[in-house]
């Protein structure tokens, strides 16, 4: 285990084509959906400027990313802006554990289409949402939010087995919340109440120099 981790920055991918037009999910696999502006996305560039203020040392930094296209594109824009020539000296790793929640047979479907295709399961999801939240509902041939937290917990082991003291993670809305739940040992109630982060937001998890404990803040 690596007791010397000092900071972890969680960056949600910037705005994708599916964020602008949800019907994209009907024609393009989730992992292949790109950013709306992959060459010069202004939100990603702004996130890079925020990351630059941390004065990160490329030699002491590991960049992790979901292999989904929109995260790969966001990582390139953000890190080039934040590190300049130092970008090529950063160790960069893909991890499928950081992928988006999988919605299985319902991937890309509207609420009406979900209900029409599988009315019994849709009704069950409605009951669980009304009484218990969606955390434990597993989409047909897909994942529950609990499943996402479990695989993120596996990822934490990979993080602790590195020698790096600082990390940047490029991931998705649900996986960002799952990471924070697993890292801080937070409750299901916290997860259900916490909204997804904004596109290209930068959340910093860092050690408190006074107490040695962990704190988080958006840049």
Q: What is the pLDDT of residues 33-61, one digit of tens each?
A: 999 999 999 999 999 999 999 999 999 99
Global confidence as pTM: 0.92
Q: Is domain 7-102+143-218 classified as CATH 3.40.50.1240?
A: yes
| Percentage of the chain lying above the pLDDT 90 cut | 73
Lowest mean pLDDT among 24-28, 79-83, 128-132: 128-132
pLDDT of 122 > 80? The answer is yes
Report the SS3 class of residue 2. Answer: coil
Where does the pLDDT of residue 130 fall: very low under 50, low under 70, confident under 90, or very high at 90 and above? confident
Q: What is the pLDDT of residues 168-187, one digit of tens each?
A: 999 999 999 999 999 999 99
Domain range list for the chain: 7-102+143-218, 104-140
Provide the pLDDT for residue 128.
78
Provide the pLDDT for residue 2.
66
Provide the pLDDT for residue 120.
87
Name the nearest CA neighbour of 51 among 63, 39, 59, 40: 63
List phi, psi (to 5°) of 30: -55, -45
Positive or negative CA dihedral for 110, 116, 120, 123?
positive
Provide the pLDDT for residue 3.
66
Q: Regarding beta strands 7-12 and 202-207, do their DSSP bridges make them parallel or antiparallel, or are they unpaired? A: antiparallel
pLDDT of 139 > 90? The answer is no
């Amino acid at each position: 285990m690596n007791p010397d981790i000092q900071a972890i920055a969680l960056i949600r991918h910037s705005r994708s084509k599916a964020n602008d037009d949800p019907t994209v999910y009907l024609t393009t696999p989730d992992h292949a959906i790109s950013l709306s502006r992959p060459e010069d996305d202004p939100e990603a560039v702004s996130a890079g400027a925020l990351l630059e203020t941390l004065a990160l040392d490329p030699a002491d930094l590991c960049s992790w990313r979901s292999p989904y296209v929109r995260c790969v594109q966001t990582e390139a824009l953000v890190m080039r802006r934040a590190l300049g020539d130092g970008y090529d000296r950063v160790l960069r790793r893909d991890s499928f554990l950081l992928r988006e929640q999988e919605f299985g047979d319902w991937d890309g479907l509207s609420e009406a289409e979900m209900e029409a295709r599988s009315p019994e399961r849709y009704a069950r999801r409605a009951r669980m949402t009304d009484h218990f939240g969606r955390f434990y509902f597993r989409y047909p041939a897909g994942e529950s939010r609990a499943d996402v937290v479990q695989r993120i917990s596996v990822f934490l082991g990979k993080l602790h087995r590195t020698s790096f003291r600082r990390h940047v993670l490029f991931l998705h809305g649900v996986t960002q919340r799952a990471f924070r739940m697993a890292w801080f040992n937070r409750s299901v109630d916290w997860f259900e109440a916490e909204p997804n982060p904004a596109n290209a937001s930068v959340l910093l998890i860092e050690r408190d120099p006074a107490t040695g404990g962990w704190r988080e803040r958006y840049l």
